[in-house]
Structure 1
């Protein structure tokens, strides 16, 4: 099927999933233009020598896009996944570039901009789409035209502004499976003719949970969201305008119920003989703590290794985690079949809360040469999460997270034309400040381990940058574009990482050089700077065919290790630098009835930032952010859109991504393993993705019928890199429960298999398009495969999340005004 799709897509070339409206009798023949602002000015998508996938408001509505992740379904080379460590956050992968951990000290490889304001952190991005005018996905390094540097690309979300065309708006109500209830109200009101207008949008999104806890009977994966936005437009003069907006989002849900997918038979990595004495000493110390607290001490207690089940029900020496799990009521059948085989029954009590507040102000002055714009923004994100990470019936591993991050930014943009329109130029300056905290805790095997790991980081970051880009038109067909940017980031972090006893309340600093007297505070400050550039040449073979070549350099700032628990891991990581080369063609053929866009790229990324696991002498592991080395990524991508007779349209996308490490050496501080890791799996990057879309529109005397269906497919995705020394050092130990090696079991459990998702929507508009009746279906084939997984090597399990089941429902929308 892959070969058939790609053969069809690439032989036809490929195109944009932003469907234009099918022409009615007497209407202009051909696909409608799609306007983008990738170069800070409004341009036709087909005239921009940049790989862009664009969505209009109409196309988002027709494909039933309700969340940020829905945009990825028909965008080549883009995948969006919910973070396994924080459900309020999303992990974005674009052209093989991915942010491998969700932390306030790690910048994203793909930048997110909403109404020209940079949203710095992944926390709080997993939210509803509301009153959008367009979404644009820009691929490749960005920086010479944007406030922040990124190595993978940028996603631009533009919301609808107030207008002076009279009172208008809409009211919509949705009801669907699992008692889904969504209400949306949008209103636009001109207050003073051609001077002052306001626009407001509010949405309430509710749904019952669809996953049942087999222990408590509670349901998870519910939905309880509020979203609202208000805008004020003041047109002071013909060439001067002021635009202000405020946005609010709140979510308070049980989040995704996790399930245990695999359990290593021996639990923790077995300690060496040399470590045995130290482990026994630690066990004796733990026993002394329990005795001092007046609590019973099970014989043979060892808080750092897995033991058998004694008469007290506590872990004893000689057993393993699988037997511990079984002792708490889960049979072997439930472990291998009831959980992995039935995705409807987790056994966790997760909870997630997020609140975001965003305020923007934009001043725009039209001048004789172009425009001068200033964009200011303030944003605060507050999140709280509690996760049962193992997803089993046993109390094995629980984590919590609390983050409150505040940012404000200011950006000056100057765009225009010079020398009789021979040169188009854009330039600007950007300032960004961020402060706040990111804290988390981890409790493992609480029945015999009385300690809680606490990680706390206080941030204080500043960034400045200047950029300029210009295009010189040699004639009507040939143009050259060059851009340059310089950035400086000043980042400060204060960590207070501790190991605290839940029995005595006594805390010990995780980093020995820190002092409990000052709450284990360890302060570090670093400065990172870098230069980015872009150079491209484009040529119009005809009025409807554009070819281009581009080379660019991107920069992702360095940072610090918030979860450091030793001097060796309390190190900063360097900036990531990407060198990318691209060739592409954009075309419209057959009187603009066929739109075909293709791009090929080759990238080398140096000092790529990766999350890795360090083996500790006691057999546990610790997460650390570091520079992995170098990765090479190349790929092909295409999109097509074809207008057929009688109101039919078909479209499709396809992408191939080949990512391979070229240099990946072990950390000097890592124990029990040395040498190259070039064969380690690249995380979050499917090799193949494709989508097909079809639509039909027909006007009757009484109304207009619109039908649309979308099918998107991706090959297997490595959800987490597997490091062989964890659990099965040589990759040869057989798990008697599966008959396969432990290594292969972990690899299988942390791989999202190839899969497709089918969705559809049908609508009928009446009363001159004022009333719309629509029905929809999502995931119509009820694909329940794993889409998220987490391997915790220190304990020896893999847990994951399955795709949501099929959902369906109906929407009634009434539109008023123009």
Structure 2
């Protein structure tokens, strides 16, 4: 039930929606003021609709961050954006230093495994990144980041249900030589070195930029049994962009990037007692209690004893060609190849016992080609395109569980070896066109057809000192009964339209209503180790289900944007409702005999409605205020819990009727309040800034395990910065998590294996100082 405070926030937002056009019309008569006395938000140029437009003219729920914003957030990688945009939940993902767990409006990826598609697409210069591994990108040569909320597909290369993050790099200049460098030192001996140079290579037709970042920090977490440090940072990143103006009408951009990470383990903390099972005589005993060292204070243990850590190598190369055919038509080609090779040791149980220790080695390759025709006339504008993605993912996994079982009072060694391969081919044709009925009224319609082919093969076997657990093999799909033994290929297709009606009462305001359908492809259970993992209860009977179906959503939205008070105030607001079908959920906890299972469910129906508000104000020439509010009311309307042995301890419909769970990673409130004040000092200036971020209570597992819950938290950050005359050099000192709050960011739910329920925590209070120069 909403609190009175939430009700008041929502009513205030609804009232603002109605007031925007009136205020905007009154504001048109006001004279413009100097640039440094106005709000920049309305003037930010974004490419959310695949063409450059002012943010205030785009009938889409989008938040844009510039390079200056990222420095104010003290953001080194994407996780620095957590809490900065309404209904954005972006954290480091599940036991890996390089993975990004991103949820927008309550939609994200249900499992970190590479066989699940993300609901939020990440794009770098228009190139789609297929996997969340390696997606916690460093931010060093970014021009801007755009956070698009709601289904994407009629404009973006890959169809997604939750939204998209679009990262736009700085283009090298044909005329100016520019160079930047910065050195940052902070808590836990963190060093961050950034470098960027852009230079013309002769004439005004060729230019090159080079950028690099080195980010290294000691571990935050100590194992009290050994004194070793974990949860560190060790990342080296390079990017180069070659820009060529081949002819007056043809621009070619060739870029390459490389990221190398060499980290120690990323440890969480157990929130439920880890349970060791006696196979004979039957019985169980607790191996490790919940929170073994009491309230979490960045101490945790691991059974790994050597130099097991996390390695990642991530390469990419792409060519973008923009051909201006005439004043109205532009053709764009985006060709990309990417290679991702993580080798990750993960202690899932985060304890000295060996119950859920794993190695995951991934070999991922992807090739994508996108063609776009952009058409822009006085009345008509649009984008029409074709998209192709060919992805191959192979993995070798090892699961170590020598403390999971006992037999006749003696130890049972147990290792599971897994090799699997998935091939995905995705084809799409899409288009979106806008027609201006008048200078103020426009209608936009889009349509996309997606066709995906997915092939999956898997082989698992075991090694144990007990004969009945040794060499237990399972091959998918070969070991399934006919005709399912041939069922390793699936094809999925969907039409996804979008419609938007927008009205501009004046140059400085916008109203819009929209409807859009999103689609996320189905696939195969990448955790199936036996037929039990593929057995669900369907219509009351145990049934083999070899795949999960696509997830679809219709989102309906109304919004408004406006710039007021002589451009000293910018406000954007939206109301939305999302209706989901067949949402994908990976759950645990069911058993067949003594064997834990990991089914994937198309659980049923989910509905989410919410409200978003963003505002930037400049009361004086030197004082800036920013704020954003996101509200979510998310619920499962239907949750078909198909685990084989009802009732489950944490089933979302234990009686088969009432749904008792709430969607995970969907905090009802996300709030960000920030202010900075610039003080002139000679020809330079000093800026003082503070911001506070609130993320409300939310669950970290699909079926709401009590220990996998974040009760909600506030974070405060502060900085002081000096900019010299002309911006030639600057110095900045900052503190993050000022009041040293303890907060949970993610969770691992593998209760089928020793009752594993592990949480991960955000960073404690940290300090940093930075010095930068520009030429």
- Give, in whole Å, the separation in 1 of the partners of 2:573 and 2:35: 29
- RMSD of aligned residue pairs (Cα, Å): 2.7
SS in 1 for 2:271: strand
Please tell me whether the aligned partners of residues 648 and 694 of structure 1 are also in contact (alpha carbons under 8 angstroms). yes
Shift of the alpha carbon at 1:6? Answer: 3.7
Distance 1:566 1:319, change over 3 A: closer
TM value normalised by structure 2: 0.89
Residue 427 of structure 2 corresponds to which residue in structure 1?
464
The superposition leaves residues 239-290 of structure 1 with CA deviations (integer Å, 9 ceiling, x where unpaired) of: 11111000000111114222222216x766xxxxxxxxxxxxxxxxxxxxxx
Higher Rg of the two aligned structures: 1
Shift of the alpha carbon at 1:86? Answer: 4.0
Which of 511, 515, 520 is residue 551 of structure 1 equivalent to? 515
Matches within 5 A, 1:617-766: 617-667=592-642, 669=644, 675-676=656-657, 678-722=659-703, 746-747=705-706, 749-766=707-724
- Give, in whole Å, the separation in 1 of the partners of 2:479 and 2:750: 29
Structure 1 position 183 matched with structure 2 position 164? no
Please tell me whether the aligned partners of residues 185 and 203 of structure 1 are also in contact (alpha carbons under 8 angstroms). yes
The superposition leaves residues 101-145 of structure 1 with CA deviations (integer Å, 9 ceiling, x where unpaired) of: 022221111111100001011111123212100000111111001
- Give, in whole Å, the separation in 1 of the partners of 2:95 and 2:189: 28
SS in 2 for 1:507: coil
Distance 1:668 1:71, change over 3 A: closer
Residue 417 of structure 2 corresponds to which residue in structure 1?
454
Distance 1:216 1:765, change over 3 A: same
Matches within 5 A, 1:149-548: 149-263=159-273, 302-303=278-279, 318=283, 320-321=285-286, 324-325=287-288, 336=291, 338-347=293-302, 349=304, 351-368=309-326, 369-418=328-377, 421-446=378-403, 448-501=411-464, 507-510=471-474, 514=478, 524-548=488-512
- Give, in whole Å, the separation in 2 of the partners of 1:720 and 1:145: 32
Please tell me whether the aligned partners of residues 215 and 347 of structure 1 are also in contact (alpha carbons under 8 angstroms). no
Shift of the alpha carbon at 1:25? Answer: 10
Structure 1 unpaired stretches of 5+: 16-23, 269-301, 306-315, 326-331, 724-745
Distance 1:256 1:26, change over 3 A: same
The superposition leaves residues 1-55 of structure 1 with CA deviations (integer Å, 9 ceiling, x where unpaired) of: 993994898489599xxxxxxxx99656422311100111100001111110111
| Count, aligned residues | 725
Q: Which moved more, 1:507-516 or 1:63-72?
A: 507-516
SS in 2 for 1:98: coil
Q: Which moved more, 1:566-575 or 1:35-44?
A: 566-575
Please tell me whether the aligned partners of residues 735 and 768 of structure 2 are also in contact (alpha carbons under 8 angstroms). yes
Matches within 5 A, 1:760-779: 760-779=718-737
Residue 774 of structure 2 corresponds to which residue in structure 1?
815
Distance 1:545 1:714, change over 3 A: same
- Give, in whole Å, the separation in 2 of the partners of 1:502 and 1:130: 51
Shift of the alpha carbon at 1:444? Answer: 2.4
Shift of the alpha carbon at 1:814? Answer: 0.9
The superposition leaves residues 514-533 of structure 1 with CA deviations (integer Å, 9 ceiling, x where unpaired) of: 469xxxx9871111110000
Distance 1:2 1:719, change over 3 A: farther
- Give, in whole Å, the separation in 1 of the partners of 2:276 and 2:508: 62
Residue 271 of structure 1 corresponds to which residue in structure 2?
none
Distance 1:501 1:445, change over 3 A: closer
Please tell me whether the aligned partners of residues 477 and 487 of structure 2 are also in contact (alpha carbons under 8 angstroms). no
SS in 2 for 1:572: coil
Distance 1:552 1:645, change over 3 A: same
- Give, in whole Å, the separation in 1 of the partners of 2:714 and 2:204: 49
Which of 144, 157, 168 is residue 154 of structure 2 equivalent to? 144
Shift of the alpha carbon at 1:549? Answer: 0.6
Distance 1:242 1:319, change over 3 A: closer
TM value normalised by structure 1: 0.84
Q: Which moved more, 1:535-544 or 1:465-474?
A: 535-544
The superposition leaves residues 215-234 of structure 1 with CA deviations (integer Å, 9 ceiling, x where unpaired) of: 11101111111011011011
- Give, in whole Å, the separation in 2 of the partners of 1:45 and 1:756: 29
Shift of the alpha carbon at 1:189? Answer: 1.3
Structure 1 position 565 matched with structure 2 position 524? no
Please tell me whether the aligned partners of residues 609 and 626 of structure 1 are also in contact (alpha carbons under 8 angstroms). yes
- Give, in whole Å, the separation in 2 of the partners of 1:404 and 1:697: 49
Shift of the alpha carbon at 1:409? Answer: 0.5
Shift of the alpha carbon at 1:506? Answer: 5.1
The superposition leaves residues 307-330 of structure 1 with CA deviations (integer Å, 9 ceiling, x where unpaired) of: xxxxxxxxx755512xx44xxxxx
Structure 1 position 805 matched with structure 2 position 764? yes
Residue 24 of structure 2 corresponds to which residue in structure 1?
none
Please tell me whether the aligned partners of residues 683 and 721 of structure 1 are also in contact (alpha carbons under 8 angstroms). yes
SS in 2 for 1:546: strand
- Give, in whole Å, the separation in 1 of the partners of 2:4 and 2:679: 32
Please tell me whether the aligned partners of residues 703 and 767 of structure 1 are also in contact (alpha carbons under 8 angstroms). yes
Residue 747 of structure 2 corresponds to which residue in structure 1?
789
Shift of the alpha carbon at 1:700? Answer: 2.4
The higher-RCO structure (CA 8 Å, 6+ apart) is: 1
SS in 1 for 2:81: helix
Shift of the alpha carbon at 1:161? Answer: 1.2
